[in-house]
Amino acid sequence: MLIAIGSQGSSPGVSTLALALAGFWPTDAATVVVEADPAGGDMKSWQRVPGEPGLGALATAARHSADPATVFAHASALPGGLNVVTAPEGPDQASAAVQLLARDGAGLLRALSADQAITVLDLGRLDPASSTLDLLAYADLTLIVARPNLAEITRLAARIATIKQYARDPEAVSLVLSGTGYPADAVAESQQTPVLAVLPRDEACAGVLSGSLTMRRGLDRTRLARAARTLGHVVIQRQGALVSANARPVSKEADA
C-alpha cells in the first residue's frame, strides 16, 4: 500500500505523522517512509543518520527498477529501527529528486501500491508548481494534514478540489487534523472530505520523532503513537472499502 501525506503549508506535522504512522503501524507488515519533500528533507538531520543512498539515488534507480525492495535498499534505519529514505536537505536537490521520481518512477510507484509493505510518502507542502501533485495519482490514500483553524481551513477549502483532481480517485483523499480547533465533523462537512483522525499535541512523542528528545521506553504508549496506530487501522479499513467500491461492476452501481 502507498500512502501519501501532504499539507497546505504552515508545517502542521506532515513529517511527524509520516514517521508515526509507519513507526506505529498496527499490523506486522513491513513499513518504510519515503521523504519526498521538494522543500528539502528534515529526517536526516532529525535522526542524525547518514541518509545514503537516499531519495536522489532512489529516484535514479526507479528508472530501471519496479521492485519494491529497491525502496528498502535506499533506506536508512533510524535508531528505533524504522526504515526511512531521506531527502537531500537542500531544496534544489530535493525538488530535482522528487521531479525525477514523478517523471520516471511510475513502475516503482505502482508496484509499491500493489505491495504488502506499507510505504508512506512524505510530500511536505503540496505546492501548485511542484511535482508532488503528480505523485498523488499513485497513492492508494492521500492524507492532508491541517490544523483546524480559520486560516488553514480557508486555505484548504481553496485547494481541496485540485488535490482531488490529481489523486487516483477523489474518494482516496482524506483529512487528518492536528490539535484542537474546529470539530472534525464541521471540517469534514465544510470540505466535503472525511476526517480520518484528530491528532493530539504530544510534545514528548513528536520530540522523539523529530530528534529533539532522546528515545525512551514506552514511546509506543504515548498519545500520538496511539492515535497513529488507530489511524493505521482506519487507513486499512478505508483502503479496503475503496478497493471493493472500485471493483463493483458499473451496472450494479447504477442499480444500487
Ligand X SMILES: Nc1ncnc2c1ncn2[C@@H]1O[C@H](COP(=O)(O)OP(=O)(O)O)[C@@H](O)[C@H]1O
> Taking the complex as a whole, how short is the minimal distance between the CB of residue 139 and ligand X, in angstroms?
17
132 grid coordinates = 508532488
| Contacts of residue 206, Cβ cutoff 8 Å, sequence gap at least 6 | 13, 16, 224
Residue choice 1, 4, 8, 15 for contact with Mg ion (CB under 5 A): 15
| CA distances, 163 to each of 170, 182, 229, 244 (Å) | 8, 22, 25, 23
> Taking the complex as a whole, how short is the minimal distance between the CB of residue 200 and ligand X, in angstroms?
6
List b or e across 186-222, with b for residues whose CB sees 16 or more CB atoms inside 10 angstroms.
ebbeebebebbbbbeebeebbebbbbeeeeeeebeeb
Q: Per CB under 6 A, does 199 bind ligand X?
A: yes
Other CB atoms within 10 A of residue 255 CB? 7
7 touches, from Mg ion, ligand X, none (C-beta below 5 to 8 Å by class)? ligand X
Q: Which of the residues 25 through 44 are near ligand X (CB under 6 A)?
A: 42
Rounded-to-integer distance, Cα 126 and Cα 211, Å: 24
206 touches, from ligand X, Mg ion, none (C-beta below 5 to 8 Å by class)? ligand X
> Taking the complex as a whole, how short is the minimal distance between the CB of residue 245 and ligand X, in angstroms?
30
Give the binding range for ligand X (CB under 6 A) out of 13-21, 50-58, 169-177, 236-244: 13-21
Q: Per CB under 6 A, does 156 bind ligand X?
A: no
The nearer residue to ligand X, 42 or 140, going by C-beta atoms, is 42
Q: Per CB under 5 A, does 86 bind Mg ion?
A: no
Rounded-to-integer distance, Cα 237 and Cα 97, Å: 32
12 touches, from ligand X, Mg ion, none (C-beta below 5 to 8 Å by class)? ligand X
- Cα 253 → chain centroid: 30
The nearer residue to ligand X, 42 or 152, going by C-beta atoms, is 42
202 touches, from Mg ion, ligand X, none (C-beta below 5 to 8 Å by class)? ligand X
One-letter identity of residue 233: H
Q: Per CB under 6 A, does 132 bind ligand X?
A: no
